[in-house]
Amino acid sequence: MAIHSQLILFSLLSTYLLCAFGLGAKDGKKFRVIKLTSLLPSPLCSTPKGSNHHENQKGMLKLDHHYGPCSPFGHHGKPNLRQILSQDQSRVNSLQTRLFKARVHHVEETKTTTLPAQMGVSVGTLNYIITIGLGTPKSELRVVFDTGSNLNWVQCQPCAVQCYPQQDPIFNPLNSSTYLNISCASPDCSQLSSATGFSPRCSSASTCVYTTTYGDGSVSLGYFARETLSLTPSDIFPNFAFGCGQANKGLFGRAAGLLGLGRNTLSLVSQTAKEYGKVFSYCLPSTSSSNGGYLKFGAGDVPSVKFTPMLTNPTDNSLYFLQMVGISVGAQQLNIAPSTFASPGTIIDSGTIITRLPMSAYIALRSTFRQFMSNYTMAPEFAPFDTCYDFSGKDTMTLPKVVLHFGGDVEVEVATSGIFAFVNPSQTCLAFAGNNDTSDVSIIGNHQQQTFQVIYDLTGEKVGFGAAGCS
């Protein structure tokens, strides 16, 4: 009888522990069990199953990580992790400055060709490249894209002042029958101010001259022009307005230039609106070694995508703001007031890597995550990460699910690859960070966007998230 009572007591205690720590039948709702090898970078390029159907679709462009094994650039100039995180912080700082005008750089306009002061967001973290065609006959150029930028530009011959080294041959306007400079008197020239923050200049031949600069000192300056843009063999856009760069320097790697996917009238999104309806999407793969990612223009069929309202901030109406309302860890909604995110707001950005949260929200996330991970050995911090673990000698790991909550009852369960950042075999860190100031905007970075189809519908003023978007 005593043994029977002990068995009953043990059973009750086991049930209590399973429920208390979320390890019972509903374990799958709170936790994921993953192989640690899934967090390790691979030296080989891979194609995920089911991703080939993206090829040759209308408006669909394949994307690769700038420094991954699938990149045509190889590992030339690849930054280390500390450099990447430093560049990421530089972009965050420049976004905060741009939004809240904490620091304003005044540029003296002169007739001489000079490299101007830093105005826009940093570009060192623009790590995804696509291939476009420019000119007639077309020249294929590999460029980076950025939802935080508006102007489209490529380096152009004769590079009258300077060009940085790029992988593809530098575009030569003299080889194209459809190239046309835009005059200073054209209304298109006057639109540059809102897209770049700089008033256009006028060359001695009355050609419109653009200037665009970035928060890390990168710059492009040259002629504002029109040319035929080819996104796919069937998606061709004559008279596309772009910058033909004659003075260029900065952290663009070996890319030929930049496509701006912001909300300004000169962005690629606006210039192709008649064809695509101001809708684009992308899916960033879970690792830099995967070539299953894409950038797509146009709506298409998106039955599994859930949309949250796209907001506009009058401080900078070209960025994409969302209504973030909360965070859950292990199916437990954190005690964070929605007003925490409401002011100064939350943006989603393709160029920022690590998600930045209000410090109070980050502390709540970190505290709860550490509780769920208390069985694992913590490792030293690796700035900006302060919650790191040593998984040496382990094959698998159990970690709590992390869900971001947005307006419209939209829940985005962050992929495993988006929860952790791999530093080294004995140091894997929670891949979120807190803002330094209460006036700083929250930023949903691309690390937490991995594997989702992220849809920007400017006409419908909404942003959508679809799970398993790369497959």
Q: d(Cα 95, Cα 266) in Å, to the nearest integer?
A: 20
Q: Check 64, 188, 349, 440 and give the catalytic one.
A: 349
Q: d(Cα 407, Cα 395) in Å, to the nearest integer?
A: 38
Report whether 442 contacts 356 (CB < 8 A): yes
- Encoding tokens for residue 220? 């492009």
Specify which residues 297 forms β-bridges with.
Answer: 280
Cis before 344 (ω within 30): yes
As a whole number of Å, the end-to-end CA separation of the chain is: 58
Q: d(Cα 304, Cα 308) in Å, to the nearest integer?
A: 13
Q: d(Cα 257, Cα 134) in Å, to the nearest integer?
A: 12
Total H helices, total E strands in the chain: 10, 30
Q: d(Cα 172, Cα 162) in Å, to the nearest integer?
A: 15
Q: d(Cα 17, Cα 215) in Å, to the nearest integer?
A: 51
349 is catalytic: yes
**DSSP letter string, 117-130:** ---B---TT--EEE
- Tell me if residue 151 falls in helix, strand or coil: coil
- Report the DSSP pairing between strands 208-213 and 201-202: antiparallel
Q: d(Cα 312, Cα 321) in Å, to the nearest integer?
A: 6
Q: d(Cα 313, Cα 317) in Å, to the nearest integer?
A: 5
Q: Check 64, 146, 235, 457 and give the catalytic one.
A: 146
- Encoding tokens for residue 274? 């008649």
Number of other CB atoms surrounding residue 57 within 10 Å: 14
Specify which residues 214 forms β-bridges with.
Answer: 120
- Encoding tokens for residue 79? 């930054």
Which runs of consecutive H residues, i.e. helices, occur in 151-285?
187-190, 192-196, 268-271, 273-276
**DSSP letter string, 360-371:** HHHHHHHHHHHH
Instruction: Write out the catalytic residue numbers.
Output: 146, 349
